[in-house]
């Protein structure tokens, strides 16, 4: 009996489907008060939609201000002849997405019934638009026809599932539906005359009645092809791949991609190869081999207390180097200082790998990979960019918003988990430090922290050390958001019952094993809703970077476009666009979290 | 398997840590030759700012970034406008390249701090030259590039005309943006004229203008340059907006601003502005500036200024052809003015910003 229940979990009981007419009667007009409420709110909603449509379609709206400034809104001053870098970066992400879809999500099915519902909803939306929008009768007819087409198509689909007795075709793969949908959007760029906007010799040429410029539709098509091709290739060979390792590799690539894409593809660092060969490579090699040797020794199972003492000595040495840098006692390469701290941290976790020879060698290999990647990125960050841009940051517009949000979330999540663990740990020093950190950060407004990191921090840095504006923003924001994430994770930690800890102890797990395999998975599962709430907050609050002089999308729409000579005071159009963009991103995040909650069974167990 | 996934997790955490530290610290001794352009550079202790700027290779110029026709971003992301062009002029003089400017957009509140902390070398941010800023705040001011003044704008349909005065405002609703001196100026002017006005303030001038168009405000007031721009762009068809009084109710001389007590730097900025004015007087423009030296059609002063015999630019620490670069790459005063301010309806002729020979105030000392 219990076996059947396990099999059934994850599948929802099927809801008896009813015809649209029945549904309307049952839900909207079931009794008199319900009918009155339906009518009153319906009229309200219609007025609101009509008002919004009137606003959008009014002749006073100057949407060309938004169209002309689209590049400014998306990427600020990113030069047009360098746009290929943005597309290359996006292309890398597309390939990664295709690979991940093939590895993870290949079996998702989308019921035809759902598609028919969506199609009918679109049809209703178009009809509503045709009825309410203040447009000319001829275009109204066009919209009505489009709406009827959608409605008929959706209804046909719905009927076909109903009459389909053997039910062979009641769903199609979600992935192919998404590809088809995106493909239709891309195809529409080639067919629908959205208007042709292009910069020729610095002059904006705008022609209505033509499709968008080649520089827009071609890259989007390439992106779609990359996505579909990478998916198709992997899905063919999927069964021969070691899935576990492929997943690990993809997770690593996703984690690395923001850093690599931003610092390598977008900036294209101008490496000084003489310096790289004479200094950077030897330093990295030294750390890989000498550091690797030390770590190999430290993972010796019979080492005991000595290993711990060595690790602590290394940590003290690593921190001392930074103190020395602050007072300028002796010069040392920045990356050497960072590497010493990394070595100390690796030494601290080394006892966890004190096992057979293979495990120890794997740990040392991991160390080598870490050094190669971190040294490469440090060198890349500190090499001048070949990208020539005006202004203090090399990103702006929506790219800046995305960049700050993604990097902040990526970096603050591990930090937040560590802080939460520290705050709930039994070690008094760690607990006091973490509590103090969380409370003091939570007691300070984000604006203050951003000001501090952009204006005041440079004055405290050691002599000759500088901080890039963008790095200052991300660092400050990460430290801020980590404190809030830590509190969300702590809530999850508290929901893990005492018995779980005791059971883990009883079967002889070490503290780190207990935390990593028993406590954190349960705690993080519970904290998904507040964590996603926090992530959405982080994304939206990136608009505060405007205060320290960076041009994010909101600032460009609110202050820059209305100040242009040709679009003086044209503000509402841009603000509407910005709110739509913010909504799309935030809503997608929220939708994704709902799916995640469903998958981990939150609220059901 | 468990060991492996643990390893991945730990490496991820470690890696995040590296990146934070890496982001925090540019290499101090590692890549001294390679300091990236998006880093804040502090002014060197002692010595003139001129040497610092020449060493750095870019000019950090503070602008508003949202001042119509003075400094705004165009759709391609370039900083354009009257103030932005004077930034380019200084860069052309000091570095020989008008594009070697790093524009820093500043709010009104942080502009002076940015100069004092060395974030910007010069401020071209429609900053009015006042006694308190010159003395108390610790700024020095260069020659005025634009003479502005607060004026009022009303509708001809309400009986206002170009010859109206503050005395005609009795009972009118006057709107302006909050927290600026314009609010105080109109209050004082109304009191002096003995009329009662109904003053309303809004957060920014876009909203003020919208209320004026909708009829919630009879009169709006701000600097004349702002009003002319609004009239040129937003006056509805069939309506006539008028700007008055002819003599503005306040004096707003706008020009370059820099930190005090750096005479070498001040000379460079001031003479860059003067060079554009003198070039305008002598008929030298971006088209013919490169052919002035050795051409008998131009007098000795023009020859000297463009780097000919007896030039004085090298004494200032600039290259001999510094001002020739300015005129070739950016243009003379009239070119800069017409390029940026004519499109919003601000014309030089008849205004305070006409040349001194045409009855205006734009005047430069002789270059000899």
pLDDT in tens, B166-200: 888 888 899 998 767 788 888 889 999 888 989 99
Instruction: Of A100-114, A137-151, A406-420, give the range with the top mean pLDDT.
Output: A406-420
B45: contact with A, CB 8 A cutoff: no
The encoded tokens of residue B36 equal 């990236």
For position A6, what pLDDT does the model report?
A: 42
**Lowest-pLDDT choice from A246-255, A440-449, B310-319:** A246-255
Give the pLDDT mean for A433-441. 94
Tell me the C-alpha distance between B50 and B186, whole Å: 41
The encoded tokens of residue A309 equal 């003492």
The encoded tokens of residue B221 equal 């007031």
pLDDT tens digit string along A456-483?
776 676 655 666 777 788 889 999 999 9
CA distances from A426 to A350, A411, B179 (A): 22, 25, 53
Beta bridge partners of B258: B140
pLDDT tens digit string along A95-140?
988 888 888 766 777 888 888 888 888 888 888 888 887 777 788 8
A541: distance to nearest CA of chain B, Å?
A: 20
Q: How confident is the model at residue A602 (pLDDT cuts 50, 70, 90)?
A: low
For position B43, what pLDDT does the model report?
A: 41
The encoded tokens of residue A390 equal 């005006």
B38: contact with A, CB 8 A cutoff: yes
| B78: nearest CB among A77, A325, A516 | A77
Residue of A nearest to B345 (CA): A565
For position A106, what pLDDT does the model report?
A: 62
R_g of chain A computed on alpha carbons: 29
Q: Which residues contact A409 (CB under 8 A, 6 or more apart)?
A: A481, A535, A538, A539
Q: Residue A40: left if φ>0, alpha if ψ -120 to 50, beta else—which one?
A: alpha
Tell me the C-alpha distance between B147 and B363, whole Å: 12
Mean pLDDT of the residues in chain A = 82
Q: Which residues of A touch B3 (CB under 8 A)?
A: 353, 355, 359, 362
Contact B1 A244 (CB under 8 A): yes
Tell me the C-alpha distance between A340 and A291, whole Å: 9
Residue A290 CB-density burial (10 A; 0-12 exposed, 13-18 middle, 19+ buried)? exposed
Tell me the C-alpha distance between B13 and A1, whole Å: 44
| pLDDT of A70 strictly over 80 | yes
pLDDT tens digit string along A344-393?
888 888 877 777 888 888 889 989 988 988 888 888 777 777 766 655 45
Closest CA to A94 of A267, A228, A265, A219: A228
In chain B, CATH 3.40.190.10 covers 48-148+252-360, 150-250
Tell me the C-alpha distance between A377 and B15, whole Å: 11
A515: contact with B, CB 8 A cutoff: no
Q: Which residues of B touch A382 (CB under 8 A)?
A: 26-27, 30-31, 34, 36
| pLDDT of A450 strictly over 70 | yes
| pLDDT of A18 strictly over 50 | yes
Q: How confident is the model at residue A20 (pLDDT cuts 50, 70, 90)?
A: low
| A390: nearest CB among B6, B10, B102 | B102
Contact B20 A363 (CB under 8 A): no
A306: contact with B, CB 8 A cutoff: no
**Lowest-pLDDT choice from A5-9, A537-541, A563-567:** A5-9
Tell me the C-alpha distance between B234 and A368, whole Å: 64
Other residues' Cβ atoms within 10 Å of the Cβ of residue B123: 27
Candidates 3.20.20.70, 3.40.50.300, 1.10.3720.10, 3.40.190.10; CATH matching B150-250: 3.40.190.10
A325: contact with B, CB 8 A cutoff: yes
| pLDDT of B41 strictly over 60 | no
Tell me the C-alpha distance between A392 and A399, whole Å: 15
Q: How confident is the model at residue A503 (pLDDT cuts 50, 70, 90)?
A: very high
Tell me the C-alpha distance between A593 and A224, whole Å: 25
A396: contact with B, CB 8 A cutoff: yes
Q: Which CATH superfamily is domain B48-148+252-360 in?
A: Periplasmic binding protein-like II (3.40.190.10)
Q: What is the DSSP string of A400-442?
A: HHHHHHHHHHHHHHHHHHHHHHHHHSS-HHHHHHHHHHHHHHH
For position B286, what pLDDT does the model report?
A: 92
Tell me the C-alpha distance between A387 and A392, whole Å: 13
A582: contact with B, CB 8 A cutoff: no
Residue of B nearest to A79 (CA): B76
- Decide if domain A392-605 falls under CATH 3.10.20.90: no
In chain A, CATH 1.10.3720.10 covers 392-605
Residue ranges of A 67-86 with Cβ closer than 8 A to chain B:
68-69, 71-72, 75-80
| A255: nearest CB among B12, B36, B66 | B12
| pLDDT of B105 strictly over 50 | yes
For position A8, what pLDDT does the model report?
A: 43
Q: How confident is the model at residue A3 (pLDDT cuts 50, 70, 90)?
A: very low
Q: How confident is the model at residue A203 (pLDDT cuts 50, 70, 90)?
A: low
């Amino acid at each position: 009996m219990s076996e059947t229940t396990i099999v059934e979990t994850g599948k929802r009981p099927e809801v008896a489907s009813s015809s649209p007419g029945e549904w309307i009667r049952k839900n909207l007009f079931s009794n008199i008060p319900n009918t009155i409420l339906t009518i009153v709110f319906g009229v309200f909603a219609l007025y609101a939609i009509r008002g919004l449509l009137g606003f959008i379609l009014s002749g006073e709206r100057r949407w060309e201000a938004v169209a002309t400034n689209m590049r400014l809104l998306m990427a600020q001053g990113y030069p047009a002849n360098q746009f290929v870098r943005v597309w290359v970066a996006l292309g890398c992400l597309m390939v990664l997405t295709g690979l991940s879809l093939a590895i993870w999500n290949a079996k998702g099915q989308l019921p035809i019934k759902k598609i028919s519902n969506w199609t009918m909803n679109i049809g209703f939306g178009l009809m509503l638009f045709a009825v309410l929008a203040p447009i000319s009768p001829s275009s109204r007819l066009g919209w009505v026809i489009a709406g009827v087409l959608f409605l008929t198509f959706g209804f046909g689909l719905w009927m076909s599932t109903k009459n389909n007795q053997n039910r062979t075709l009641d769903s199609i793969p979600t992935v192919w539906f998404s590809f088809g949908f995106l493909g239709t959007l891309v195809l529409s760029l080639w067919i629908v005359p959205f208007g042709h906007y292009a910069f020729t010799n610095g002059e904006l040429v705008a022609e209505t009645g033509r499709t968008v410029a080649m520089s827009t539709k071609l890259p989007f098509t390439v992106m779609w092809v990359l996505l579909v091709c990478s998916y198709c290739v992997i899905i063919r060979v999927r069964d021969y791949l070691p899935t576990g390792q492929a997943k690990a590799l993809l997770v690593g690539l996703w984690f690395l991609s923001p850093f690599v894409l931003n610092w390598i593809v977008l900036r294209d660092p101008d490496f000084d190869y003489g310096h790289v060969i004479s200094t950077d490579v030897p330093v990295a090699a030294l750390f890989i081999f000498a550091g690797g040797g030390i770590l190999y020794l430290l993972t010796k199972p019979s080492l005991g207390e000595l290993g711990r003492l060595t690790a602590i000595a290394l940590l003290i040495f690593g921190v001392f180097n930074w103190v020395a840098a602050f007072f300028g006692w002796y010069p040392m390469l920045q990356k050497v200082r960072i590497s010493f701290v990394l070595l100390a941290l690796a030494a601290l976790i080394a006892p966890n790998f004190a096992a057979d020879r293979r495990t120890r060698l794997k740990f040392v290999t991991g160390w080598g990979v870490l050094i190669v990647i971190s040294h490469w990125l440090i060198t890349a960050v500190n090499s001048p960019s070949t990208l020539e841009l005006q202004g203090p940051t090399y990103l702006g517009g929506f790219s800046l918003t995305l960049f700050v949000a993604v990097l902040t979330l990526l970096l603050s999540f591990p930090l937040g988990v560590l802080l939460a663990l520290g705050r709930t740990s039994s070690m008094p020093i760690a607990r006091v430090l973490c509590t103090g950190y969380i409370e003091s950060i939570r007691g300070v407004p984000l604006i203050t922290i951003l000001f501090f990191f952009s204006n005041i921090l440079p004055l405290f840095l050691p002599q000759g050390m500088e901080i890039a504006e963008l790095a200052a923003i991300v660092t400050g924001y990460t430290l801020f958001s980590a404190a809030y994430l830590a509190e969300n994770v702590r809530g999850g930690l508290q929901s893990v019952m005492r018995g779980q800890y005791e059971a883990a102890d009883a079967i002889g797990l070490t503290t780190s094993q207990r935390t990593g395999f028993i406590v954190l998975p349960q705690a993080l599962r519970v904290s998904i809703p507040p964590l996603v709430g926090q992530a959405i907050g982080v994304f939206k609050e990136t608009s505060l970077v405007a205060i320290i002089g960076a041009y994010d999308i909101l600032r460009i729409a609110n202050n820059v476009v209305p100040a242009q000579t040709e679009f003086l005071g044209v503000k509402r159009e841009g603000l509407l666009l910005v709110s739509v963009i913010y909504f799309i991103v935030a809503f997608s995040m929220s939708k994704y979290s709902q799916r995640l909650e469903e998958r981990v069974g939150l609220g059901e167990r | 398997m468990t060991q492996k996934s643990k390893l991945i997790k730990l490496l991820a955490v470690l890696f995040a840590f590296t990146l934070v530290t890496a982001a925090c610290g540019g290499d101090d001794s590692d890549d001294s030759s390679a300091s990236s352009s998006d880093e804040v550079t502090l002014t060197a202790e002692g010595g003139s700012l001129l040497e610092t700027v020449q060493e750095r290779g870019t000019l950090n110029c503070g602008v508003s970034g949202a001042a119509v026709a003075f400094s705004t971003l165009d759709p391609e992301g370039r900083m354009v406008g009257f103030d932005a062009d004077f930034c380019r002029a200084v860069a052309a003089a000091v570095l020989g390249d008008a594009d070697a400017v790093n524009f820093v957009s500043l709010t009104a509140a942080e502009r002076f701090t940015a100069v004092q902390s060395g974030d910007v070398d010069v401020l071209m941010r429609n900053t009015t030259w006042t006694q308190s800023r010159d003395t108390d705040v610790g700024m020095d001011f260069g020659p005025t590039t634009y003479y502005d003044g607060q004026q009022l704008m009303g509708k001809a349909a309400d009986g206002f005309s170009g010859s109206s005065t503050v005395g005609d405002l009795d009972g009118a609703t006057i709107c302006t943006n909050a927290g600026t001196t314009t609010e105080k100026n109109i209050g004082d002017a109304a009191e002096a004229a003995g009329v009662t006005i109904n003053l309303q303030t809004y957060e920014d001038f876009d909203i003020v203008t919208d209320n004026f168009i909708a009829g919630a405000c009879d009169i709006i007031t701000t600097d004349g340059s702002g009003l002319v721009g609004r009239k040129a762009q937003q006056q509805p068809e069939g309506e006539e907006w008028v700007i008055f009084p002819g003599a503005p109710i306040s004096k707003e001389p706008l020009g370059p601003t820099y930190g005090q007590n750096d005479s070498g730097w001040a000379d460079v900025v001031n003479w860059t502005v003067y060079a554009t004015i003198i070039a305008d007087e002598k008929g030298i423009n971006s088209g013919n500036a490169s052919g002035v030296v050795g051409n008998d059609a131009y007098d000795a002063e023009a020859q000297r200024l463009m780097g000919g015999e007896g030039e004085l630019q090298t004494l200032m620490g600039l290259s001999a052809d510094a001002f020739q670069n300015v005129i070739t790459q950016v243009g003379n005063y009239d070119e800069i003015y017409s390029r940026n301010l004519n499109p919003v309806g601000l014309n030089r002729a008849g205004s305070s910003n006409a040349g001194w020979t045409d009855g205006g105030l734009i005047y430069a000392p002789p270059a000899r």
